[in-house]
Amino acid sequence: MNMILAADRNWGIGKDNHLLVHLPGDLRFFKKMTEGGVVIVGRKTLESFPGGKPLPNREHIVITGNPSCIEPFAAQCTAAGSPEEALTLASYKDDERCFVIGGAMVYRQMLQYCDTVYVTKIDEEFPADSYFENLDRNEKFFVECESPAREENGVSYRFVKYKRKAKEKNYVEK
């Protein structure tokens, strides 16, 4: 399973149910990675999308204790009552094209199931109320590659790909 997020220097990821900063290049990267695939998303993050609607051209598995909240979006969304149910639903899909896309509560519970984490590292500090764990201090992951830094709206950021170390994988490879 894959995970994708953007974090600032303190691993802040959001404030008042919004992203910390508008970075068009990062949004393009997110779109390129997830378009045409399946995304696993928490109910609050779904509400934070433009118009409170699912993202175009992606199938959504929405984690919520209240499945009726996604009824208006039944064509694009399936409800999952837990991270584990989301994984079961996603297992019917092509794993390469499946991404956990947040928010904080969902990231926290699902990191254990992910072997690849794409982090857009923003070289700034913003006021935040939602955080990801410091992946650089997580001994189960290593940085496989990272892009050169780029700048947008006066903000510097880079794309970093983390992989789970082979011996830490939660499953046996066939």
Ligand X SMILES: NC(=O)c1ccc[n+]([C@@H]2O[C@H](COP(=O)([O-])OP(=O)(O)OC[C@H]3O[C@@H](n4cnc5c(N)ncnc54)[C@H](OP(=O)(O)O)[C@@H]3O)[C@@H](O)[C@H]2O)c1
Name the residue with tokens 């992203």: 19
Which of 31, 72, 82, 156 touches ligand X by CB under 6 A? 82
Contact string (CB under 6 A) for ligand X, positions 126-165, x = contact:
----x-----------------------------------
For 60, residues 6+ apart whose C-beta sits below 8 A from its C-beta are 38, 39, 40, 41, 46, 54, 70, 73, 76, 77, 78
Return the residue of 1, 13, 39, 114 that touches ligand X, per CB under 6 A: 13
Do the bridges between strand 155-164 and strand 116-122 make them parallel or antiparallel, or are there none, so unpaired? antiparallel
The residue within the footprint of ligand X, chosen from 49, 52, 57, 66 (CB under 6 A), is 66
Give residues with Cβ within 8 angstroms of 77, minimum separation 6: 46, 54, 59, 60, 61, 62, 70
Using CB under 6 A, count the residues that bind ligand X: 28
End-to-end CA distance of the chain: 16
The region of 9-17, 137-145, 152-160, 163-171 touching ligand X under the rule CB under 6 A is: 9-17
**48 lines the binding site for ligand X (CB under 6 A):** yes
Owner of token pair 């789970």 = 164
Residues that bind ligand X (CB under 6 A): 5-6, 13-14, 17-19, 42-45, 48, 63-66, 69, 81-83, 101-106, 109, 130
